[in-house]
A and B are shown apart, each in its own frame.
Chain A
Amino acid sequence: EPEVTQTPSHQVTQMGQEVILRCVPISNHLYFYWYRQILGQKVEFLVSFYNNEISEKSEIFDDQFSVERPDGSNFTLKIRSTKLEDSAMYFCASSEGKGNYGYTFGSGTRLTVV
């Protein structure tokens, strides 16, 4: 069964440092997403990406965040200057289409900011 692959599985970084979280979506999927889950809380939407541009973003996704699809297979989330409150599990997801299509989530990257 096709999978969404995320690397690294764990990342510890110092406050103020930049981090890049990487994702390889399913190859024939066209829509890509980042979600995050702070420990003990709900999963929250960050951003959706289609046709090489952001299609929707949440209030959480401020200027410190950016996404990129650099080479046609990888999909990255960059946090420019990490804060303690960025500590969370970050999930990448992909889907074939919008609306009623299934989303496949990766296993996540646990980001700890110290």
Chain B
Amino acid sequence: KNQVEQSPQSLIILEGKNCTLQCNYTVSPFSNLRWYKQDTGRGPVSLTIMTFSENTKSNGRYTATLDADTKQSSLHITASQLSDSASYICVVTPWNTDKLIFGTGTRLQVFP
């Protein structure tokens, strides 16, 4: 069964610190892996998209990595800001389909 699991479920960090969120997936084959940021009660906003052949993708303070052999991805946030408080969701697109498969997300809280 195609699954996307994320850890930790929740994370609290202090403003200015870095953090890394993890994603493990069983979707195979897949065409791409995405990371989204979702504020409470809002729609997901795209941070990065990596095809199955890419290893890393950056978007400002966000850097995503992908290891297709171990079926793992991570999202690294540098120099966190209060506005980074949100859920971060790993999403995998199976090969030859439109259907995005969402993970449960990591709830990040950044405190001053």
Give the B-binding residues of A (Cβ under 8 A).
Answer: 4, 31, 33, 35, 41-45, 48, 55-56, 58, 89, 91, 93, 98-100, 102-108, 110
Judge whether B43 is part of the interface by a CB distance below 8 angstroms: yes
One of B41, B51, B98 near A98 (C-beta < 8 A)? B98
Q: Judge whether B31 and A105 touch: CB under 8 Å.
A: no
B45 on interface, CB distance cutoff 8 Å: yes
Residues of chain A within 8 A of B32, CB atoms compared: 99-100
Q: Mark B10-43, 1 if CB is under 8 A from A, else 0.
A: 0000000000000000000001100000000111
Smallest beta-carbon distance B78→chain A, Å: 22
A48→B100 CA distance, assembly (Å) = 10
Contact of A48 among B46, B51, B99, B102 (CB under 8 A): B99
Among A31, A56, A91, which residue has its beta carbon within 8 angstroms of that of B43? A91
Contact B43 A108 (CB under 8 A): yes
A105 touches B98 (CB 8 A): no
A105 touches B104 (CB 8 A): no
Interface residues on B, range: 20 to 34
Known: A91-B43, A105-B44, A110-B41. A42 touches B51 (CB 8 A): no
Q: List which B71-112 residues lie within 8 A (CB) of chain A.
A: 89, 93, 97-105
Complex CA distance for A99 and B97, rounded to whole angstroms = 8
For the complex of A and B, list the 5 residue pairs with the smallest distance between their C-beta atoms, beginning with the closest: A105-B43, A48-B98, A43-B102, A45-B99, A42-B102
- Cross-chain contact A107 with B93 (CB below 8 angstroms): no
B88 to chain A, nearest CB (A): 13
